[in-house]
Structure 1
Amino acid sequence: MGSHTDAHTSTDPLPTPATAAGRAGLDALVADPGRAVIALDFDGTLAEIVPDPDQARAHPDAVPALAALAPKVASVAVITGRPAEVAVHHGGFAGVPGLEHLVVLGHYGAERWDAATGTLSAPAPHPGVAAVRAELPALLERAGAEGTRVEEKGRSVAVHTRRATDPQAAFEALRGPLTGLAARHGLIVEPGRMVLELRPPGMDKGVALLDHARGLGAGTVLYAGDDLGDLPAYDAVDTLRAEGTPGLLVCSGSDEVTELKRRADLEVPGPAGVVALLAALARRLA
């Protein structure tokens, strides 16, 4: 993608965002990193998408890159639909020197884990989740959804179709019934990459990102994601831009989701590309 010579040296090139707003966001981050918030999705962004979500792990270079970058910025926030403790475990974030400025906002911000203290804060779960969990096996059996997998998330439930004989057909067949089930119990359905998640309304990555960035008085915000659930966070960055806070939208590219690519200022090749960008930023800010 070349180097952006206005703000970056040829000895440590950073990729050039494709948009003027993205270039302004990157320049602002480099100029004043102490007020920058770096926000990142987990699955598909810091970790490769795998058939069994329990086996997902952060890219091997992710923690070293984050540990190098986090002390130089106001905050690094991992914003995920997973429980915070699961993301901490799968990311290997606990007890790492340099990650004191890291927070994990789990369940779309309903939970918060702080690396500096190792503490987790969370409200009580929505009662509809337990009701949906109880009805889900019978619904899947009626739908003949062989090969689907239910992921328990505590505050939400996700149905994965990636292992079905025809993953896309199973996804489409289940979308209507799961939407009806969710609605009966006051929940919504969030579609993703071969996954349908049933969760409470009012929980999304955009709300979590806006609360976090505004709470810190962020001077610039970078957000990197890969899936439809990241679009609210993209919207949040656009909101902050409209208020005068520069931002950079990064897409962890894949062949499965194209909508983020159209919105992004900068596309990188999957988690390896995201980690390379974080490492390059850390070197640039050194």
Structure 2
Amino acid sequence: MPLPKPGSEAGAAALDRIVRRPADAVLSFDFDGTLAAIVPDPSDARSYPGVTAELSRLAPLVGRLVVITGRPAAVAVEYGGFADIANILVLGHYGLERWEDGHVTAPDPPAGVGLVREELPELLRRSGAHDGTRIEDKGRSLAVHTRNAADPDAALEALRIPLAALAQRAGLTVEPGRRVIELRPAGMDKGSALAGVVADAGADPAVLYTGDDLGDIAAFETVERLRGRGVPGVTVCSGSDEVEGLSDRADLVVDGPQGVAELLAALRAAIAGRD
């Protein structure tokens, strides 16, 4: 399969640079909806077929592989099958956690997370949350999913204001997503996490970031800022019919996690055949 061509000149130039100089490249990815399909129960998510194998093949060819996710880092490693991949960094909780070489480092969670954990069930009861609404406790944050409600979008909309009020009282920030609202610590997002990785990568990197949801906009913005400073960068959207806006900002849109798996294979083949 040929390597797809980004729609922008900047994106096309960055992808060409990655192929020509892979040892300088930082390839970064969201997990859910990008490397793994969205599923009704988040605990059932696993890497899309072929993704882990292609990442393993790419790892020795490129400067750095990075997964940046809202999940706990160790969970993403387990669900993604990343533990045996050399040269991969997994940043969990939007960058607050760092998994590398089998070890996780992270600060203590703020007290507000405990407040949300205590009050969230009663808040959902008082708010008349739709049947099928569920809480996901991520340890350092909590998320409310409405994907399994009869009307997921209406269920989510009914909870936006009360969840925002709870987050404000707890000193947390609200992270909207695909039929989910997460209450998490402030001060870090996927854009900041990506910027830190690029800063550590050396003097002359090229960057690819692939995501699928509203939380990935911050990483897209980081790529755009880096391009303004002369760093080659390309943004890729793992497309779906659930989120609008991200695809309009992407240099390249692929067909969900299957398209991401195909992109990884095509990129690996292009790098291997560059000579």
TM-score by length of 2: 0.96
Runs of 4+ in 1 over 4 A off after TM superposition: none
Residue 148 (structure 2) pairs with residue 159 (structure 1) = no
Question: Matched residues in 1 for 2:181 and 2:33: separation?
Answer: 16
User: What is aligned with 1:90?
Assistant: 79
Question: Matched residues in 2 for 1:165 and 1:58: separation?
Answer: 27
Amino acid at match of 1:118: G
User: What is aligned with 1:24?
Assistant: 13
Matches within 5 A, 1:177-196: 177-196=162-181
User: What is aligned with 2:216?
Assistant: 230
User: What is aligned with 2:132?
Assistant: 147
Identity among equivalent positions (%) equals: 59
User: What is aligned with 1:274?
Assistant: 260
User: What is aligned with 2:193?
Assistant: 208
Residue 63 (structure 2) pairs with residue 79 (structure 1) = no
Q: Once the 2 structures are TM-superposed, how far is the Cα of residue 144 of structure 1 from its aligned partner?
A: 1.1
Q: How many residues align?
A: 270
Larger displacement relative to structure 2 (143-152 or 219-228)? 143-152
Amino acid at match of 1:193: R
Question: Matched residues in 1 for 2:83 and 2:209: separation?
Answer: 22
Q: Once the 2 structures are TM-superposed, how far is the Cα of residue 92 of structure 1 from its aligned partner?
A: 0.9
Question: Matched residues in 2 for 1:13 and 1:166: separation?
Answer: 40
Q: Once the 2 structures are TM-superposed, how far is the Cα of residue 252 of structure 1 from its aligned partner?
A: 0.2
Q: Once the 2 structures are TM-superposed, how far is the Cα of residue 41 of structure 1 from its aligned partner?
A: 0.2
- Given candidates 55, 77, 88, the residue that maps to 1:66 is 55
Amino acid at match of 2:106: A
Q: Once the 2 structures are TM-superposed, how far is the Cα of residue 202 of structure 1 from its aligned partner?
A: 1.3
Q: Deviations over 1:74-120 (max 9, x none)?
A: 1000000000010011001112xxx2110100001111111xx2111
Amino acid at match of 1:109: G
Please state whether the residue corresponding to 1:135 is helix, strand or coil.
helix
Q: Once the 2 structures are TM-superposed, how far is the Cα of residue 201 of structure 1 from its aligned partner?
A: 1.1
Q: Once the 2 structures are TM-superposed, how far is the Cα of residue 284 of structure 1 from its aligned partner?
A: 1.2
Residue 115 (structure 2) pairs with residue 131 (structure 1) = yes
Q: Once the 2 structures are TM-superposed, how far is the Cα of residue 126 of structure 1 from its aligned partner?
A: 1.3
Q: Once the 2 structures are TM-superposed, how far is the Cα of residue 123 of structure 1 from its aligned partner?
A: 1.1
Question: Matched residues in 1 for 2:193 and 2:111: separation?
Answer: 21
RMSD (CA atoms):
0.9
User: What is aligned with 1:14?
Assistant: 3
Question: Matched residues in 1 for 2:243 and 2:121: separation?
Answer: 28
Question: Matched residues in 2 for 1:239 and 1:130: separation?
Answer: 35
Please state whether the residue corresponding to 1:159 is helix, strand or coil.
strand
Query: Structure 2 unaligned runs (5+)?
Result: none
Question: Matched residues in 1 for 2:187 and 2:13: separation?
Answer: 31
Q: Once the 2 structures are TM-superposed, how far is the Cα of residue 219 of structure 1 from its aligned partner?
A: 1.4
Q: Once the 2 structures are TM-superposed, how far is the Cα of residue 216 of structure 1 from its aligned partner?
A: 1.0
Question: Matched residues in 1 for 2:177 and 2:145: separation?
Answer: 9
Query: Structure 1 unaligned runs (5+)?
Result: 1-11
Question: Matched residues in 1 for 2:118 and 2:190: separation?
Answer: 27
User: What is aligned with 2:249?
Assistant: 263
User: What is aligned with 1:37?
Assistant: 26
Q: Once the 2 structures are TM-superposed, how far is the Cα of residue 22 of structure 1 from its aligned partner?
A: 0.7
- Given candidates 23, 40, 43, the residue that maps to 1:54 is 43
Please state whether the residue corresponding to 1:221 is helix, strand or coil.
strand
Question: Matched residues in 2 for 1:203 and 1:175: separation?
Answer: 21
Please state whether the residue corresponding to 1:72 is helix, strand or coil.
coil
Please state whether the residue corresponding to 1:71 is helix, strand or coil.
coil
Amino acid at match of 2:111: P
Please state whether the residue corresponding to 1:120 is helix, strand or coil.
strand
Question: Matched residues in 1 for 2:184 and 2:103: separation?
Answer: 24
Amino acid at match of 1:31: R
Q: Deviations over 1:199-236 (max 9, x none)?
A: 11112100000001111125100000000000000001
Please state whether the residue corresponding to 2:191 is helix, strand or coil.
helix
Please state whether the residue corresponding to 1:16 is helix, strand or coil.
coil
